[in-house]
Amino acid sequence: MESIGVLMPIPMSNYLERELEKRFNLLKLWTVPNQTQFIKDHAESVRAIIGNSSSGADAELIGSLPNLEIVASFSVGIDRVDLKVCKEKGIRVTNTPDVLTDDVADLVIGLTLAVLRRLCESDRYVRAGRWKKGDYKLTTKFTGKTVGIIGLGRIGQAVAKRAEAFSCPIAYYARSEKPDVKYRYYHSVPELAANSDILVVACALTKETRNIVNREVIDALGPKGVLINVGRGPHVDEPELVSALVEGRLGGAGLDVYQNEPEVPEELFGLENVVLLPHVGSATNETREAMANLVIGNLEAHFLKKPLLTPVV
């Protein structure tokens, strides 16, 4: 398999790069000055693309690679891959579900606690020497708060399980009610938001879920509510979120994803009720290695004509 060209558009994982180089002809697109020419020069040899949450395979890239057979995404989300074109051309698509579920769900709880208990602001308070002048103000309890989850898939259910340990009632919205789930189901996101203290975005990004958290949802969540987004930035109408936080119409937010990463609205930087993370939901050594192994396993299975481990298309 050493002669098989595998195109990686951007850096993703040193471990993944090393393991791919042991098995394939890894083409690192970001290392060359003229990327368009590089793709033309290697078009015939590229049979696989490695994607992730930031870079995938659009119709133009797919069309420029006549021998492309598989797109293996180093992420669960595949919104950067043109699935329609892949289906039409018989190109296989895989992702990395399950292995990152725990990390992302853990982060939801961490973000929730950080926002409600003002952990980041309290840390700065101590470091600035202000504790000597008086105690930090009272914050908000997490235990017992109602947690509403948009998307009750693997990650959503893992979040629910963790929140239950804090005695939190759980409610959710999904495309349809899940008959084997005990949590309360709401038929619309505004209705879920109106009945939640914390609203967690954990669904896949699709045409239907883009801006699923809009002004109506934010206003329903209200000045005491907290929004946690570990899905994708475009799930949330970002200008509306910013104005609601600045104006005090929303109680707080914990964000790991943004509309135009790595750009983050500067209006949020001075707000103590907002915790901002640089899209690190699955960014632990253990999980990134497991994700890389799954990418490699899918590529090896495909080129050895075995069943894919985690097929999407």
- Single out the catalytic residue among 80, 92, 118, 232: 232
- Single out the catalytic residue among 261, 263, 267, 286: 261
Annotated active-site residue 261? The verdict is yes
Instruction: Give Cβ neighbours of residue 200 (< 8 Å, ≥ 6 apart).
Output: 108, 147, 148, 149, 150, 156, 159, 228, 229, 230
Which tokens in the block code for residue 144? 């017992």
What are the Cα distances from residue 136, in Å, to 88, 117, 124, 172? 59, 11, 11, 34
- Calpha distance 81→148 (Å, rounded): 29
**Which residue in this structure is represented by tokens 């995404």?**
73
- Calpha distance 230→279 (Å, rounded): 8
Which helix (H) or strand (E) covers residue 290, if one does? Answer: helix 285-303
**SS3 annotation, 98-165:** CCCHHHHHHHHHHHHHHHHCCHHHHHHHHHCCHHHHCCCCCCCCCCCCCEEEECCCHHHHHHHHHHHC
Which tokens in the block code for residue 92? 């296989």
Measured torsion, CA atoms of residues 157, 159, 162, 168, in degrees rounded to the nearest 10 = -100
- Single out the catalytic residue among 249, 279, 289, 300: 279
- Calpha distance 152→173 (Å, rounded): 7
Rg (CA), the chain: 21
- Calpha distance 130→14 (Å, rounded): 41
Annotated active-site residue 187? The verdict is no
Phi–psi pair at 4, nearest 5 degrees:
-75, 125
Report which DSSP code applies to 252. Answer: E
Active site residues: 232, 261, 279
